Structures are given as structure tokens and as C-alpha cells.
Structure 1
């Protein structure tokens, strides 16, 4: 196997290899490492933010419960409340009097603490009236969830649990406390502080925590959740029975208070939330990596392409030398090594060409000079017939016609001489509309003479337009077509109407005849011919006008052709108004 030496590799490929190992691979590796480090940092920061948000939720809920538990402790030591529920009343009036004296101020705490909604008292004292926040404990109530779940614990300290609505659905969070401080009372007395539902929703709502929150009691029952799929109000649901994705991130905040002993707040973060943050950081990294990649890549490709192009140009010129084409390299000769090589090649090529010219080409040049000399002599002979000779002959014929009183013939000869002189002696490319009208009048008189009064014409010109400059002889070709192709084949008498008027800042020229019109197929050929690049000998005048209009006005002119067999043909030409012969129009 043949070994490839580094010097055998083309310069462009060498530069690309340098780029690959010195720029591309380092950038790729650097950005991969940067991406890994950044994504880990973003993930850790996001988890830390979620932990802080969950801690805020736990703290807010705990503070509200502590406020309610504090009220429960105050009322627990209130002797008036104890005596109100523990006394046996002889009559209802006696209870009402005691109620008014000892219970009406009990709800004074609810406006102070936003977490407290209301305060209720429960007792099995049969002499107490069940109304106004005081309820009797019966057998159904002893079977309720809040009564069963607090058990003997409420005798020692306040207990957090759930109340039950009339429909049997778990309702408000409540703080329950037994009021029997000495355990020797005659009747059972229980205090219930209802927590505000708005406080519960606000406590567990945190916009910065992008996941679901679950409040789990000491029996692993979900007491409250922001997860809409968990129906914790209608049935008791174990937290372990929840279907939690393995990719989710689980966070916990445990409560160490007596009334929240072994309760915990669990936050579930879907893995998609963390991935989204990582993806957002990935986009930034990809953007920066692309920027660092594109600029050096374009620069290296430009340098490599420039070197390859210049060297390839020299190689192509050197190969032409084998075919005896001694062309020099055009362009600026720069001062780098490639520029010096190109300069030396040009110097060598000129030297070879000079040597060849000295030996061979001189003879060929002499022969070409002889041929050119003979050609010049031939053209000199042909030019002996001078156009002025034709003008003089026509003038002589016209004068003889005048002497013979043949005025009609004399006028026609005058018009013919005027047309020939104008077409042969071009002089200026721009003339006034007045001079163009003189030429048009001469042409129409000749045509009228030819057709033996078969043709009539009418020229209408607005005032003030005769001094405006237009390109020379741009209207006559259309009049010629109208007379020859429109009027001449017509069986009856024909007429040509010519109108020149100002239209805003444009000059509008209308050439209308009542001739035979243009056949559809011929009409399409003319339109395609005017828009194309071909040459048609039959329409060279119209083609010449179209090309001149494009040269002078670019796209600022309009040329329309309307024709049918009934009304004849109408040419509408609109060109910009111009009053300056020195600056006639767009170039």
C-alpha cells in the first residue's frame, strides 16, 4: 500500500485538516463539557428553588394551624367556657343567660387570624340548647371521622383533622381539643376551631412550585392535594396507592409539632419540568457553540477558497500555454507568495509572446495590412455615390415639376426628400414634437398621394406640447403600419387619427386607424416579438422603436396595441414628459 505523504495533500485539504484539529474538535469538546456542567448546575438550582417553595408552603400552613392551636389553648384554660358546658341548667332561660354572658365573645378571635373561620363547641350535656355554635354530641357524631380520628389524643393537646359535611364528604380542616382539663367532669366537652378554606387554598398555592402538593397525615392518608386527579374529599386515599412516575422528583417537609406529629408535606415535581429548564439552557449553549463554530468556519473556508481559487487560476493559465494560448492572469498582483508566482507567470508569458511575435506573427500582420488596404480601397470606390447626390437629383426633379406647374408632384418630391434626409442624416437622437410632426405630415402626404386619396388623416395636438423633446422617429413606424397593413388592404376609404396630448406628467400618443385590423395569430406574434429578443424583418421598425424606448426610459414607458377586424387598430404610447434636450431621459 502506497503511503501518502503530508506534502502530497492539496493545500485546501491541509487547511481543512488544520481547522478540524485546531478549531472544530476543541470547540465541540469544550461545548459538550460546558453543556454537562451547565445542565447539572441548572438542575441543582431548580431543585433548590423547588425546595424553598415547598418550605414556604409548609411554613404558611404550619403558621395558620399554630394560630388556631393557640386559640384552642387559650379557650382550653377559660373557666367560663368550661362552666358554660359543664353546668346542669334547670330551664332553657337559665342556659340562654349563661350563653349570653360567656359565649358571645368567643368568636372575637376569628377576625384577628385569617386562618380561623369559626369556633364551635360540642357537649353531651342534655340541658344545653344546640344553637349559635354549640352542638350536642350524639351517637352519629361519635361515629364521625373527626371524632374517631382524634380519639384520646384530643384530651392531651389540640389535634388537626377533617370535618365532615352533611353529605358525608370530608370538609374543612379543624383543630379539635377536649375541654375536660381535670378528667372528672360530668359531661363531655369538645372545642372545634374550623380553619378558613381560603387560607388552605392560598397556603398550598405557590406559583414557583411547578408540581403537585400532598398533605399526608400520620396514618399515610392524603388529607389535601393540589392534584385534581386525587379525590381526597370523597374517600380516604393512601399516599402509597398513588400512581407516581418513577422519573418524578419527590420532596418532603415533615412537621414535628404535637398537633401535626408525623404529618408531612410531599411535593411531586414531574421530570418534564426539569428537562424543560435543561433544554432552555441547551438552546443557549447551542447558540453560543454555533456562533463560535460558524465564524471560524466561514473564515477558514474563505481563506482556503481564496488560496485554492488563486492557485487554480495559475494552473489553468499554465495549461493554456500548452495550447499556445499565452493569456496573462488578470487582476491585482498581491504581495504574498501566490501573488509573486502570478506576477512571474505573467512576465514569462509576455516574454514568450514577444518572442513568438518577433518570429511568426509579423508576417501575418503584413498580410492582414494588405487585405485591409484593399478593403479600404473598395469602400472608397463605393462611397463615391454620395447621399447628397440623391438629394440634389430630387431637388432638380422638384424644380422642373414646379416649372411645369406640376405642384402636386413637386410637393410629393419635397416630402420624399425631407424623409430621406432625416433618415440618412441622423444627427441628434432627440427632436421636438413639432419637428416630429413635420416629418409625420410629410409621410402622410406621400401615403395619401400613393393611395390616390383613398386615405385621410387627422392630427390633433394639445397646446404647449410641440416644444417637448421625444426620441426621433418613434411615432412614424406605427403610422406606416397603419397605412400599409391597415388602410391599404381596406376596400373602402380609410382614415388615420393621430392624437398627441399631455396626461399628468406623461406624453400620450394615440395612432388609430379604421383598417382591417390584425389577425389574432399575427397579433400574438407581434406582442411576443416586441417582448422578445429575436429579429423579425417585417416588423423591424416597431422592434427598433421598442428597443429605443427601453434604452431611453427603462420601464417608465407604456406601449399598448388594441386591434380587431371591426374597429381597426389603435396604438397607445405613453412616455415621460421632457423639456431638456441636454438631459433627454433615463439611460
Structure 2
């Protein structure tokens, strides 16, 4: 009881310091003495285990890379078109060039697969030309060991370090005999593996790691000075030169080392590769000793600093708690101090509480601003919807009187046999009726397209053969809903600026819808009219980017459609305009299905 009373009487600063020394220093000294004895042994074992895992990982990733040329060789060995090109007897060089131009499979493989650097087929056909894909084997090639082995292995794949005649660079290459259509015309297929792909596999390895072929040629390594050499030039031990699998101790360059080897023999291959990783024990032990010395210094220094920091931190705790309480009281009074910011450093519980307090105050302030901005955006959208409705009908006419009059004109034209005129009056009546019924809500895309079709028919009545149009509507897009009067203003723009400004000839307007990759519906209005000059197109696109409204009294234009799309679906759904003077104009916009927003984020 006296001891507890004595502890309670000690000030917090001294109490924390004594507690730290008693609880932390003594166990740390005992643990340090034990762990330093085991550290050397553990680091060596971990390094060996890491090397084994790394070799296995490199082997698997290398197998994935060389599987690509192996699969390509299977496909080419069964490619009747390639066999026909290689075995055919040509009458002229022009015929050879035309045949090469038509057969592009080899070029396509090189372009599509980054694991492949080059593909060539050696064919003894004197009527062919060498184009680095189909080549005549010279005496040097025919006497090469890999060429003879490929012809003798009856279709099995082989792997060797072979020089490419094009860039005089050696690559790990697959070689394989290809039986052509004509007897006695057997060819040899050579596929170069991309060395950069192999080196990238090894680049992240911490130990010296390399890939060698069955002649001990180093075809890839994580050390640039090893690449291209023979393993015998670097390491002279018999074990590393001859052993194909496993791990063992070896003396390399006078140093005791660990060697891990894994064999890789792809299926249907007569030879394979080896993945070799080497690390010296002295390097691992040296690191361990350095860690022990550094740890001793760090621990000693840390203990001294820690005692001082514990004593000082006790003074900071009470002051920080008082500051936190003061700011919480200031916000809790409800006087609107949302700009309050509490600056308390540290990652402890007090610092975490201060950051959460700041985040809470900031979030509340942000929500208030978002609510205000959302209301403003709603008002802007409603204003744009009303604006387009009023611009469609600048003067309000009694709808019943207007429709009755138009119907009388249509019937009179029908009775007089003026069917074209009657059809035009009916299209006008439908267009005006749909315009009068436009509200602030959304309509189906099919209804919007019907309004555009009526408008085009009216314009076709005016321009006759000068105006052609086509609707290319993708299945499944007609039921999507969108704000009204989105397409008709764009069609009107194509007629006014595309057809009217075109001096002669007809103009075709195409309205096209399609489903995008992300499920959105894309609408495209394209014409082959006069087009837009580059300077004017740049000016128009700049105007669409600026947050400005159209002048009062102006007609329904691109700006209104662009603004309503962005207000409804976000900035990414605005108009995209592409035009060339004399060739035509294309305007597109995309509507995200089910992702409409109430305001811009």
C-alpha cells in the first residue's frame, strides 16, 4: 500500500519515465542478447529460402514467356497458307512480292505478342526473295548445329542462343522443322524471344540470377556484365556447369556460396533452359554483422532519446487535451464557427481525435456548400429546360386553332391531289404538337427521333433531292430516356451550316445510335455538307467550354444542348464536334444509362 501511495504521489512526467525504463529497457536487453545470436543463422536460412522461391518464380514466368513462341510455332506448323507461300514456285519477283504482301500472319504475330522479337522461315526455294520472314538458307546456316538438329528432330522444338542476320544480335530462339507441301522442301522455323521480356523478369531479383541454355550460354541476366557470356567464363565450378536441378554449396571465385538451379524443359522440346541463382555467404553474414552493430547503436541511442521524449510527452498530453476541449466547446456552442481548425501534431490517440474533429467540421461545412450548389444547379437545369421550350415557340398561338387550321390545309391539299403538300403539312403539325407538349421531364429516345424525322421530312419537302437522310438506330437504344429537344437542334445545325452553305450537290444527314463499351448510349449526327473551317471550329469548341449563357433572343443552338447535357449527366456528356471544311461535320454525345445526376460534382 505504501508503494502504491508513493507511485500515486509521483508526477506524471516522472511516472511515465520510470515505467518506460522498467517495462521496456530490461526486456529489450534480454531479447537483444538472444536475438543477436540467432540473427546470423536466420538471415542465411532466409536468404537461401528466398533464392529458392525466386528461382521457382523466375522459372514459371520464363515458362509463360516462351510458351508464346511455342504456341505460335504450333500454329505456323499447321498453317497451310504459309506452307503454300514457302513451297510455291514463282515465275517473277513481282509475283513473290504480291504473295508476301497478301500473307501478313507473321507480321501480325510480331505485332500482337510482345514476347516475340522476330520470326523467320528458312526455306530452300530458289524462286523466293529474302524479306527477313522467308529466307534462303546459305551454307553457313545449313552447317549450323541448330539447323541440323532442327531437321533431324522430326518436328520437336529446340531452344538455342542464335544470331539474327537482320541486326547481328543473338537471341534465345525457338527452332523447329516445318514439313511443307512438297517432299524434300522441309523448312526450319526460327522464333526469337524478346530479350527485354526475359531481363525484366530478372530485374527485380536481389541475388545474381541468370537464364542459360543447354550450352551454358547466358541468354538473360539481372547483371548486364553477364548477358551474352558463357557460364564457364563466369563460374568455373563443375556443379554449376553440369547440374540441372537442385541446390548446393560451392566455392565460386574463392568465396563460399549457395547455388540454386531449376530446370525448364518446355513440352515437345528436345532441350531446355536452366535458371541459376547465386549468392555468397560472406555477403549475407556481412550484412547480418552490420545490422547487429547498427542495431546496438540505434537501440542505445533510442533508449536515451526515449527517456527524454517520455518525460517531455507527459507535458504535451495535458496541454493538447485542453486545446482539443476548447475547440470542441467553440463548435458546440452552435454559433456557426465552421472555419475552426485544430492544429495538433502526432499520430497518437489525441492526434487522431484532432484529425477526426477537423474532418467532421470540414465535412459539415462541405455538405452545406453542396446543398447550396445542388439547389443552384437544379434552378439552372429548370431554366435551361424552360428556355428551350420558349425558344421553340417564340409566340404562343392557341393550339386548337393552330392544329385545326393545319388539318384543314392538309385535307384541302389531299382533296386536290397534292399528296406531298399534305404530307408536309402533317409533318409540320406533328412537329409543332410535340414541341408544345415538351415539359421539364425526360422523353424516350424514340420520341426524340420521331421529332427529328418530322423536321427532316419538312426540310426534304423544301430542298427535295438536295437533302438525303438516314436513321441508323441500334437495337436496345430507343427506350432510353433523355431531356427533350436534344437531336432536332443538331439536325437543324447540319442543314443550316452544312446544306445551305454547300454550293452544289446533295447533302446526306445520318442520325446514328450505338451502345458504348461501358453501357452508355452514344448519339451521332453526321453530314457531308460544307463543314466548318478550322479556325471557326476551334472558336466554337472554346465557346462550349466557357461557362456562359447564350444571348437573349437567340435561336436554339449547340450551346443550349451542350449545357443541358452537362447539367443532366455531368461534364463528360457534353457535345463533341469534329469537322473538316468541304467534307462535313460530325456531332456526338453519350448518355450514361442509369447514371443521371442532379448537379455537377
TM-score range, shorter chain: 0.3 to 0.5
Between structure 1 and structure 2, the one with the greater Rg is: 1
**Normalization by structure 1: what TM-score?**
0.39
**Normalization by structure 2: what TM-score?**
0.39
